Structure 1
Amino acid sequence: MTELKQLTPHAAIPREQATRTRRQRHLLRTFLPELVSLERTLAEAPEQVRTQVVDRIDVGPQTLPIYRVDLGTDAPDAPAVVLVGGVHGLERIGSQVVMAWMRNLMARLSWDDSLVRLLERVHITLLPILNPGGMYLNQRSNPNGVDLMRNSPITAQDRSAFLLGGQKLSPRLPWYIGEPSTAMEPENRALENVISGLLPGRPFSVALDCHSGFGWQDQIWFPYAYRRRPMRKIASVMALKLIWEQAWPDHDYRFEPQSRHYLTHGDLWDYFYKQINRDNTGTFLPLTLEMGSWRWVRKRPRQLFRLDGLFNPLVPHRHRRVLRSHLAFMDFLVEAAASHRNWLPEGAEESMLREAAIMHWYRDSR
């Protein structure tokens, strides 16, 4: 399926090439175990699971694939759910959470009749490791030094946070937005091709992009990040929040627009939201799961001395807890997408929920 599986047996190739092949395998196992785990999972996937490589990223001697995984109906008018992980290479836990949920689905396909029936009504697309080069290099940015979440052609409408909101100074500094006169980075173009080919024309779609590294609490962020005024579909976000809280009242998520914390240039999901909803009669809601890594650091302060410790749970029992703690929300998104006609607001209800959302999230910025 990828370079790992296409390698010729060592006996059939020159000794120098065989040595290089073994070295590449060792490097992947050492620096990118998530990709090795993903490929093993896909190699054993049921026949209902469709897999393709949407792009390949060169990192030194390595050529690393960006995998796309699809499940569910291929009907073009069915609702869709998109899950993305690994946008920032340091935040490995995002990819691991997506893959944990994917393995859960695959394991249930052979016996869970309710899941099989659900997948007849909804389409699921996963990109577990969008930035394999950055993850291999153990850095936030992609191999070109560009922060993929600051790389879309959108400019903040007000003062953004210094450096954090995106900077043009140098790829050697974090949060580099890339060269404004060039196209988006190849990882983002690959994601854009997936989004633009999958979502237009659907009555409802939702995306969840899994990150870590901000705050004491797990948060669900939604657009906008480039302005403080509410998005046009804000009533739908409020409706989604309400049905989640009614079904899971003891949840630990905090729903907020990202602009409540800081403004950024080039937010990827702001860009996709505007692109898809501009000419689409349906509804597309992009969400970001921001796992609160400060809690992991507080419980184990010596993680401060490790770069990966700032963004990932390093203690095994905490790691396992994180992997299982988000499965319910991901399952909920699939169920909500399949049943969107039962809760998506219209008419007077939409106006009421929009006003409630503005009072709840934006009254300080009116």
Structure 2
Amino acid sequence: MTTGPGFPHPDSNASDRRRSYRQYCRERLPELRLLERLVRRGAPALRSRVLTNVQDGHWQLPVYALELGSSSATAPVLLLCGGVHGIERIGTQLLLAQLATLLQRLHWDSSLQQLLACIRIVICPLLNPVGMARGWRCNGNGIDLMRNAPLEADQPGPWPVSGHRLGPWLPWYRGRPHNPMEPEAQAMCALVQEQIATAPFSLALDCHSGFGLRDRIWFPYSGRRRLLEHAAELHVLLRLFERSHPHHPYLFEPQHHHYRTHGDLWDYLYRQHLQRGGQVFLPLTLEMGSWLWVKKNPRQLASYSGLFNPLVPHRHQRTLRRHQLLLDFLLRAVAAWRHWLPGEPARRQHQRLAERRWGAR
């Protein structure tokens, strides 16, 4: 039986377990400690619940969903997600930093209070706590959550990045055919479907790292060479951002411009939403260009974590600051969705512009 500071014997008393759990989080999951501090600090304005618990040794680790703002079922929704891949700590850290800022501003910023009265922010900052505790991309069962949806790519590639069924010994493992999705993936899908079911407009941002020399904003589809059905609405949104912030660092593009994957959760959620005939839902992925961090500090090549996260303190702080403008813009765009969402014939024009800009490659 595994015992020790991080894994106490089951017969140990409650205070010993709490002490060992704090030590476990301090050593392996400081992000979870910070998250739980923010939950306590933000109540009652910050509403929290545990979507599911996942097992790491003797520890049951919670997957939290947090809500700020309106509790109305018909409020527009901004969904923020991070920590899908455990090794990509910077995504979780970015969302926790943004949450801490929002909680501080709520004490004095009347404009933010008014904004949150009419919209809802839903945050799942740490979807894969076992993977993060172990420094893995996959979850505790060796499965890549972003290859785990029951969805086959039209023209997958390159292999094995596109997802495979060989086994958990090779990254990007999808799990066994016909098995249900992993608990973390099921929890996220249930959360997203619940939130967008009655919302008049919803937008999601999933924070990742590990690809490229530039920060990218990706959108569906990942598993097929075609634009999403709401390409016109997305084109209007991104044009608003580009005109409001012309010196931004982002490259906007469909994910399939680089590779096409099986089992993408956002492809799955978007297609499910279309089948139900819901309102506009725009799922985006922030892919932070971690190769630039490695280029500036080649010693990060010696560390697996260094391929996905900025290890130099000033670069880490800069990364947390760098994306605040984007997150604030998305918050305001969701609140003002009625003022910019295109109607006909503007929608047809923006559809043509989107096809010209992002047409299949």
TM-score by length of 1: 0.94
Alignment of 1:328-339 (within 5 A): 328-339=325-336
1:239 aligns with 2:236: yes
Q: 2:82 aligns with which of 85, 88, 105?
A: 85
Counterpart in 2 of 1:70? 67
Contact residue 223 and residue 256 of structure 2 kept, 8 A: yes
Q: Distance in 2 between matches of 1:345 and 1:218?
A: 27
Aligned twin of 1:268: 265
**How many percent of aligned residue pairs carry the same amino acid?**
46
1:168-207 alpha-carbon deviations (Å, 9 max, x no partner): 0011110000112111100011111111211112111000
* TM superposition shift of 1:334: 1.1
Q: Which residue of 2 aligns with 1:351?
A: 348
Q: Which runs of 4+ in 1 moved over 2 A?
A: 13-25
Match status 1:154 vs 2:151:
yes
Distance 2:43 2:23 in 1: 28
Q: Could you tell me whether the CA contact under 8 Å between 2:156 and 2:223 is conserved in 1?
A: no
Tell me which of 338, 343, 347 is aligned to 1:341: 338
Return the offset for 1:295.
Answer: 0.6
Pick aligned residue for 2:27 from 25, 30, 33: 30
* Counterparts of 1:14 and 1:166, CA distance in 2: 42
Residue number in structure 2 paired with 1:3? none
Where does residue 4 of structure 2 map in the other structure? Answer: none
Pairing of 1:294-309 with structure 2 (within 5 A): 294-309=291-306
Aligned residues: 352
C-alpha RMSD of the superposition: 1.4
Amino acid at match of 1:287: L
- In the alignment, structure 1 residue 97 sits paired with structure 2 residue 94: yes
Per-residue displacement from partner, 1:95-130 (whole Å, max 9, x unpaired)?
000111101100000100000000111111001100
Which of residues 219, 223, 226 in structure 2 aligns to 1:226? 223
Report the CA distance between 1:277 and its aligned residue.
2.6
Is the 8 Å Cα contact of residues 156 and 262 (structure 2) preserved in structure 1?
no
**Would the alpha carbon gap of residues 61 and 200 (structure 1) be closer, same or farther in structure 2, given more than 3 Å must change?**
same
How far, CA to CA, are the matches of 2:87 and 2:309 in structure 1?
Answer: 8
Q: Gapped runs of 5+ residues in structure 2?
A: 1-9
1:184 paired with 2:190, answer no
- The amino acid of 1:87's aligned partner reads V
Distance in 1 between residues matched to 2:16 and 2:114, nearest whole Å: 48
Letter in 2 for 1:194: L
What is aligned with 2:308? 311
CA distance in 2, matches of 1:338, 1:237: 16
TM-superposed CA distance for 1:24, in Å, is 3.0
User: Which amino acid in the other structure matches residue 241 of structure 1?
Assistant: L
Deviation at 1:324, TM superposition (A): 1.1
Question: Hey, what does 2:109 align to over in structure 1?
Answer: 112
* Amino acid paired to 1:130: L
Residue segments in structure 1 that go unaligned for 5+ positions in a row: 1-12
Deviation at 1:16, TM superposition (A): 6.0
User: Does 1:175 find its partner at 2:177?
Assistant: no
For residue 210 of structure 1, give the secondary structure of its aligned residue in structure 2: strand
Cα distance in 2 for residues equivalent to 1:223 and 1:206? 13
SS at match of 1:56: strand
Question: Which of 150, 164, 184 is equivalent to 2:161?
Answer: 164
TM-score normalised by structure 2 residue count: 0.95
Output the CA distance in 2 between the equivalents of 1:167 and 1:288: 22
Answer yes or no: is the 8 Å Cα contact 1:160–1:265 preserved in 2.
no
Paired residue secondary structure (1:347): coil
Take 1:15 and 1:252, find their aligned partners in 2: how far apart are those partners? 52
Distance 1:295 1:15 in 2: 47
Summarize deviations over 1:264-287 as a string: whole Å, max 9, x none: 000010001111232234100000
**Cα offset, 1:219, TM superposition:** 0.3
Deviations along 1:123-172, whole A, 9 cap, x unmatched? 11001100001001110000000000000011010132111000100111
Is the deviation greater in 268-277 or in 293-302? 268-277
Question: Which secondary structure state, in structure 2, belongs to the residue aligned with residue 211 of structure 1?
Answer: strand
Answer whether contact 1:80 1:337 (CA < 8 A) is retained: yes
Question: Secondary structure of the residue that 1:94 maps to in structure 2?
Answer: helix
For 2:7, the equivalent position in structure 1 comes to: none
User: How far apart, CA to CA, are the structure 1 residues paired with 2:85 and 2:260?
Assistant: 18
Selected match of 2:193 from 178, 193, 196: 196
Cross-structure match for 1:205: 202
2:142 aligned residue: 145
Q: What is the deviation of 1:46?
A: 4.2
Shift of the alpha carbon at 1:75?
1.4
